[in-house]
């Protein structure tokens, strides 16, 4: 059922022919696209495909949703379907989106895509010849579908349940439905799968957050519109409107029924699950990890990547073969070798001009024999013993360039893989709250901060990160390091809901303001890391008052209210009475 809260919506533009590949409303139209078809000037079809446009599916409250169905022509057997779910528009393709990004995310638009793929979904050109139907939905309120657009919650889940079951009953379907896709298409899978529609046999959420309040729009209790205003202005189109996150936050800046509805109940998921994630996502990392830890059965697999999600999805032929093996097993019932696939495979970043180390098979995650080493923050250094005397570090919380740094140089080759955590004792004389940001930067042997390229160098137009001009340095192509965020007034912890002692769960249900000058203890989970260090290289724990980001897409969002911004100097207290520290996960090679 929809949440028992009155939801605010904001208007969006209506679909217009020619924009975002919208082609008008053609309910009941079906056509056969022949082998060699190349209607988008991209990758030609390898086989004949039947394309059904705007197929109507009526969900339980009478709302009419419309889907496009691509399926192989002339098949003699019933086939399974793979559903792609989002509010981006079922004909909005990667051909439309990727030119907005630096280097088009190293995807060859003419060779890697056909244009039939729903953005962030599977390409029918590749999957129909494998014997699958690819179904792309215009979710509620999108395109010509009825209603107003909900974003990632129980309404999407219920609608998805009904669509899955309707597809399973179509005369060409074998009764087995899967879901696939990354980012928005991955997030939606959690909410559908937690309801366990009988015909949903397998999901493959690649890079999917599972709590968009705590992981994207109000991470650590600090509200921001992330990329959503860009998405609603440039991409989403529909007859009515879309949920207005800024207005909903104004009404309730703490967690309530509305915001909590956007946290998927992963413990309910029963179908086979193939998860993919990475350190480098600024949105999805911890959703993938929580899913791995909370899904309650053993038909689950997780693979960690060192590369950007759209590049992985559209260019990695090996990843596509693995995904096909997974779906063949659970949607077609083929007794193949999929279940011999290691349950946990990880990637460690090396940073600089070195590619990641991929396909590290682990006995679990976090690694069972992880050594959690605590280092204390002392006068610019990380020390493994508690200092006998107190010290204070400070930085200007209003200045992006100002931060407090604490470094540790490795004496031998080391691997940090897992969940870091910071425990900070902090104060501010000028305000009753603090937005605290921590980033873990890798330094080379000369103390230079390093970046990691989010694509293999073989695919990138540069041979070295130093060659990348400033205007091309964005989060899609470069990664700085793992980040932790906490608003001090949201420091309360619910131990019962924590996924691991290294990653505290903050319920964000109260704002406990801090009298200016009062020292407060903050326990801050830092998003997962997998980084290798050579002897002589260093890790730098950098604590500041501004989000440590690279350049992003143009912001369409209004500035945050003044009372929610940092003010003045922030002080980090260290010593016997205030043992500020960082706990790092060391694992053996």
Q: What is the pLDDT of residues 48-71, one digit of tens each?
A: 999 999 999 999 999 999 999 999
- What is the pTM (predicted TM-score) of this model? 0.96
> Do 581 and 572 form a contact (C-beta atoms < 8 A)?
no
Q: Which two tokens stand for residue 478?
A: 């470069």
Instruction: At 560, give phi and psi (nearest 5°).
Output: -70, 155
Q: Which two tokens stand for residue 536?
A: 């002589």
Q: Out of 341, 359, 379, pick the residue that ends a domain.
A: 341
pLDDT tens per residue, range 481-490: 999 999 999 9
With bands split at pLDDT 50, 70 and 90, how would you rate the model's confidence at 553? very low
Q: What is the mean pLDDT of residues 290-297?
A: 98
Residues 325, 375, single domain; the answer is: no
> Do 311 and 352 form a contact (C-beta atoms < 8 A)?
no
Flag whether 348 is in a domain. Answer: no
Residues 187, 92, single domain; the answer is: yes
Q: CA-to-CA distance for 55 and 137, rounded, in angstroms?
A: 9
pLDDT at 282: 87
Flag whether 354 is in a domain. Answer: no
Which CATH number fits the domain that encloses residue 231? 3.40.50.1820
Q: What is the mean pLDDT of residues 469-486?
A: 96
Flag whether 160 is in a domain. Answer: yes
Residue 126: domain span: 9-341
Residues 216, 315, single domain; the answer is: yes
Flag whether 366 is in a domain. Answer: no
Query: CB-hemisphere CA count at 13 Å for 470?
Result: 0
Residue 479, beta-bridge partner list? 452
Residues 57, 186, single domain; the answer is: yes
pLDDT tens per residue, range 182-204: 999 999 999 999 999 999 999 99
Residues 417, 325, single domain; the answer is: no
> Do 452 and 280 form a contact (C-beta atoms < 8 A)?
yes
Residues 441, 500, single domain; the answer is: yes
Residues 395, 450, single domain; the answer is: yes
Residues 324, 448, single domain; the answer is: no
Residue of 557, 530, 497, 535 lying closest to 263 (CA atoms): 497
Which CATH number fits the domain that encloses residue 534? 2.60.120.260
Flag whether 350 is in a domain. Answer: no
Biggest CA pair distance of the chain? 79
Flag whether 351 is in a domain. Answer: no
Residues 312, 378, single domain; the answer is: no
Distance (Å) of CA 572 to CA 388, 406, 526, 560, 575: 16, 11, 17, 25, 10
Residue 217 DSSP label: I
Flag whether 161 is in a domain. Answer: yes
More confident residue, 589 or 366: 366
> Do 453 and 461 form a contact (C-beta atoms < 8 A)?
no
Residues 500, 416, single domain; the answer is: yes
Q: How many domains does the chain have?
A: 2
Q: Out of 296, 324, 341, pick the residue that ends a domain.
A: 341
Q: CA-to-CA distance for 110 and 316, rounded, in angstroms?
A: 15
Residues 390, 330, single domain; the answer is: no
Q: What is the mean pLDDT of residues 343-371?
A: 97
Q: What is the mean pLDDT of residues 298-315?
A: 97
Residue of 314, 521, 539 lying closest to 415 (CA atoms): 539
Flag whether 346 is in a domain. Answer: no
Residues 177, 257, single domain; the answer is: yes
């Amino acid at each position: 059922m929809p949440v028992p809260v009155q939801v605010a919506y904001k208007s969006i533009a209506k679909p217009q022919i020619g924009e975002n590949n919208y082609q008008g409303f053609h309910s009941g139209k079906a056509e056969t696209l022949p082998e060699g078809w190349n209607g988008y000037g991209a990758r030609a079809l390898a086989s004949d495909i039947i394309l059904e446009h705007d197929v109507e599916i009526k969900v339980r409250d009478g709302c009419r949703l419309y889907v496009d169905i691509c399926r192989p022509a002339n098949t003699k057997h019933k086939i399974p379907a793979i559903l792609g779910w989002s509010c981006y528009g079922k004909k909005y393709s990667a051909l439309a989106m990727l030119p907005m990004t630096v280097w088009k995310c190293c995807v060859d638009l003419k060779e890697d895509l056909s244009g039939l793929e729903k953005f962030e979904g599977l390409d029918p050109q590749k999957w129909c010849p494998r014997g699958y139907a690819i179904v792309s939905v215009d979710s509620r309120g999108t395109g010509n579908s009825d209603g107003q657009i909900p974003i990632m919650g129980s309404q999407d889940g219920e609608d998805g349940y009904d669509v899955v079951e309707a597809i399973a009953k179509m005369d060409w379907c074998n009764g087995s439905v899967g879901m696939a896709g990354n980012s928005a298409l991955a997030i939606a899978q959690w909410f559908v799968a937690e309801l366990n529609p009988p015909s949903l046999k397998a999901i493959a959420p690649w890079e999917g957050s599972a709590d968009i309040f705590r992981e994207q729009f109000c991470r650590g209790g600090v509200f921001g519109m992330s990329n959503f205003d860009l998405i609603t202005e440039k991409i989403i189109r529909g007859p009515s409107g879309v949920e207005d996150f800024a207005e909903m936050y104004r009404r309730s800046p703490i967690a309530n029924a509305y915001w909590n509805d956007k946290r998927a109940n992963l413990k309910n998921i029963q179908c086979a699950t193939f998860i993919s994630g990475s350190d480098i996502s600024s949105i999805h990392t911890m959703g993938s990890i929580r899913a791995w830890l909370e899904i309650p059965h053993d038909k689950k697999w997780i693979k960690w990547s060192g590369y950007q999600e759209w590049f992985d999805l559209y260019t990695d032929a090996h990843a596509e073969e693995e995904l096909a093996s997974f779906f063949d097993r659970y949607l077609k019932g083929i007794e193949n070798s999929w279940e011999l696939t290691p349950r946990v495979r990880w990637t460690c970043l090396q940073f600089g001009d070195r590619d990641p180390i991929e396909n590290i098979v682990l006995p679990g995650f976090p690694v069972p024999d992880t050594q959690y080493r605590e280092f204390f923050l002392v006068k610019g250094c990380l020390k493994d013993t508690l200092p006998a005397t107190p010290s204070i570090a400070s930085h200007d919380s209003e200045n992006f360039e100002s931060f407090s740094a604490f470094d540790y140089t490795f004496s031998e080759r080391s691997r940090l893989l897992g969940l870091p955590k910071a425990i900070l004792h902090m104060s501010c004389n000028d305000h009753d709250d603090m937005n605290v940001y921590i980033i873990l930067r890798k330094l080379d042997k000369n103390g230079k901060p390093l970046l990691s390229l989010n694509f293999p160098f073989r695919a990138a137009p540069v041979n070295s990160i130093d060659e990348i001009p400033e205007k091309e340095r964005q989060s899609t192509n470069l990664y700085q390091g793992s980040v932790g965020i906490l608003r001090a007034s949201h420091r309360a912890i619910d131990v019962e809901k924590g996924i691991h002692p290294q990653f505290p769960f903050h319920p964000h249900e109260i704002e406990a303001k801090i009298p200016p000058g009062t020292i407060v203890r903050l326990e801050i989970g830092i998003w997962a890391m997998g980084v290798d260090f050579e002897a002589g290289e260093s890790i730098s724990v950098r604590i500041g008052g501004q989000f440590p980001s690279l350049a992003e897409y143009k912001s369409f969002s209004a500035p945050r209210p003044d009372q929610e911004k940092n003010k003045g100097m922030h002080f980090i207290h260290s010593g016997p009475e205030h043992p500020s520290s960082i706990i790092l996960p060391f694992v053996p090679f």
